[in-house]
Structure 1
Amino acid sequence: MNYTAILPAAGSGRRMKAGKNKLLLELSGKPVFIHTLEVFEQDPACEAVWLAVKQEERDVIESEIRRLGLKKVAGFADGGTERQDSVRACLEVIPECEVVLVHDAARPFVSQEVITRLAEAAQEQGAAIAGVRVKDTIKKEKEGFVSETIDRESLWMIQTPQAFRYGLLLEAVKSAAEQGFLGTDEAMLAERIGQRVQIVESSYENIKITTPDDLIHGKAILASRQQEEEK
């Protein structure tokens, strides 16, 4: 199942406390966003990748893409203040396609198996998201004390990619913009227009590089994968 990927890449990286966009930080010799792009570069089903970036960072990002010879990046859109704005900006410029995957540029460890299953599920069901089951005990708090222990059997931690039929995502994003609704992810926008969203089980390795600890974890994942390849 062929697809087009949208990567919002205009974040500020405040929690990383690095003084610049976390995507530009190096992870084992390459910027974080390059590791992510390489996943899609290597996937034959990926027809194109579009990035939403800050205008002041576009030259640096384009330079890295050219230097490493990545061919799948088809174009750029101006990143917005909110992730939702960045996704909408990309949807306004990409050619119409069957399936769109929206993926955090700061998640470089997604597997191609998960991407394939998401694209297929989106084609069949309309919308599909990656997620992993909650492992920890979850409690609600009120005034500093536990008010309730939540049954975790039905709880999932949601990741990206999130995959949609092109027309459905366009409708969901436009509806949210027209009504001034701000969602936490694209699936939420699809849900509010009545779309059922399928969950595709992903991997706990599919982390988002957000804090300095995540860089340490990311290096460990890369080292482990390299060891597996050398066996």
Structure 2
Amino acid sequence: MNLKEYALIVAGGKGTRMKTKLPKQFLALSGLPVLMHTINAFYRYNANTEVILVLPEDDFQLWEELCVKHNFKKNIKLQKGGDSRFQSVKNGLSLIEGEGLVAIHDGVRPLVSEDIIGASYRLAAVHDSAVAAVRLKESIRMTDQDNTKAMDRSRFRLIQTPQTFKTALIKQAYEGKEDASLTDDASVAERAGHVISLFEGSYENIKITTPEDLVVAKALMDDRSKT
């Protein structure tokens, strides 16, 4: 059965760590706002992907102005965000009806590849969930107030997005009570009793949160354009 594919892109960040008044998802990267690169990645994967963009309501006008400025004409469903990421994702999910697969993705991960997006949908269709993750490169230690302890880094993964699920599963999971300790969609689904399936992400699939990240993203994007 071919399941309809949705992309729920959450972009509620501010410019705090960027030390700028402009929210990080709207900062320029190789000629376009970061968020437009992210959306374009899903359309490059499949032009028929239904994209739901969740933004703070205060950013709607700015987004519309940027779309005009960059002649960005995509058929996107715009949804108002909530006071937290949990509420924003839940609001976005409310626009989805019927069976399908939804890839929930950070608006500030513009370097996600079509291969990773495609793998997330294929694997979620089989396993109900598919969460991008990468192995740790450096040694890690666990700390408490008085001691530190070396940990086996091979047992840990850094979690990325997309985090892709069958729509009924993740919508049901988000009916639960909000909990600040649940920092991503996989945690919400796991609390609801679902097993989380990981797949290999990419070290290039960075999340832009600091000025240094923007520099790295531009370098990676420039390198891709040469190939």
> What is aligned with 1:171?
172
- TM-score normalized with structure 2 length: 0.92
> Is the Cα contact below 8 Å between 1:4 and 1:101 reproduced in 2?
yes
Per the alignment, residue 50 of structure 2 pairs with 48
Compute the TM-score of the two structures, normalised by the length of structure 1: 0.91
The residue aligned with 2:204 is 205
- Cross-structure match for 2:34: 32
Q: Which of these residues, 134, 139, 157, is aligned with residue 141 of structure 2?
A: 139
Q: Look up the match of 2:59.
A: 57
Match of 2:121 in 1: 119
Gaps of 5+ in 1: none
Runs of 4+ in 1 over 4 A off after TM superposition: none
Q: 1:71 aligns with which of 67, 71, 74?
A: 74
Provide the aligned length of Structure 1 versus Structure 2: 223
> 2: CA distance between counterparts of 1:166 and 1:111?
22
Per residue, is there more helix in 1 or in 2?
1
Q: Measured at CA, do residues 187 and 224 of structure 1 come closer, stay the same or move farther in structure 2, by a change above 3 Å? A: same
Aligned-residue CA RMSD (Å):
1.6
Query: Displacement, 1:58?
Result: 0.7
% identical aligned pairs: 35
Distance, in Å, in 1 between the alignment partners of 2:141 and 2:57 is: 42
The one-letter amino acid paired with 1:187 is A
Give the superposition deviation at 1:45: 6.5
Deviates more, 1:48-57 or 1:202-211: 48-57
Q: Which residue of 1 aligns with 2:179?
A: 181
Give the drift of 1:46: 4.7
8 Å Cα contact 1:138/1:150 also seen in 2? yes
Consecutive unaligned residues in structure 2, runs of 5 or more? none
Would you say the 8 A contact 1:98–1:165 is kept in 2? Answer: yes
Partner of 2:106 in structure 1? 104
